Amino acid sequence: MKSFFEKRRDDNQRVDVQWHGKRIFPPHFHSNLEIFIVKDGSYTVSCNNKSYKVTSGDVFIFESFDVHSYDLKLTEICDDVVFIIPYKYLGNFNEFLNGKSIKNPHLKNCDNLENLIEILKDIDKAKNEYKTQALVDLFLSTIIEDLTLTDQKENTDSYLIRQILEYIENNFKGECTRESIAQSLGYSNTYVSKVFNSFINTNISTYVNTLRLNYVEKNKNSDKTVLELIYESGFKSQQTYYRFLKNNK
Tens digit of pLDDT for each residue in 130-183? 999 999 999 999 999 899 998 765 557 777 887 898 899 889 999 999 999 999
Round to whole Å and give the CA distance between 13 and 2.
Answer: 25
| Residue 40 near residue 56 (C-beta atoms within 8 A) | yes
Look at 35 and 25; give whichever has higher pLDDT.
35
Rounded alpha-carbon distances, angstroms, from residue 45 to 86, 97, 146, 156, 186: 21, 23, 20, 20, 31
Taking Cα atoms as reference points, which of 28, 124, 129 lies closest to residue 81?
124
Q: What is the pLDDT of residues 39-87, one digit of tens each?
A: 988 888 988 878 999 999 999 999 988 888 887 654 456 789 999 999 8
Predicted TM-score of the model (pTM): 0.70
pLDDT at 99: 77
Round to whole Å and give the CA distance between 103 and 140.
Answer: 16
End-to-end distance of the chain based on CA atoms, in angstroms? 21
pLDDT at 153: 53
pLDDT at 1: 52
User: Rounded mean pLDDT of the chain?
Assistant: 87
- CATH entry 1.10.10.60 includes domain 157-247: yes
4-150 and 157-247: identical CATH topology: no
pLDDT at 115: 96
Q: What's domain 4-150's architecture?
A: Sandwich (2.60)
- How far out from the chain centre does Cα 107 lie? 19
Segment among 12-16, 25-29, 122-126, 233-237 with least mean pLDDT: 25-29
pLDDT at 170: 87
Domain positions in the chain are: 4-150, 157-247
Residue at 27: amino acid letter: P
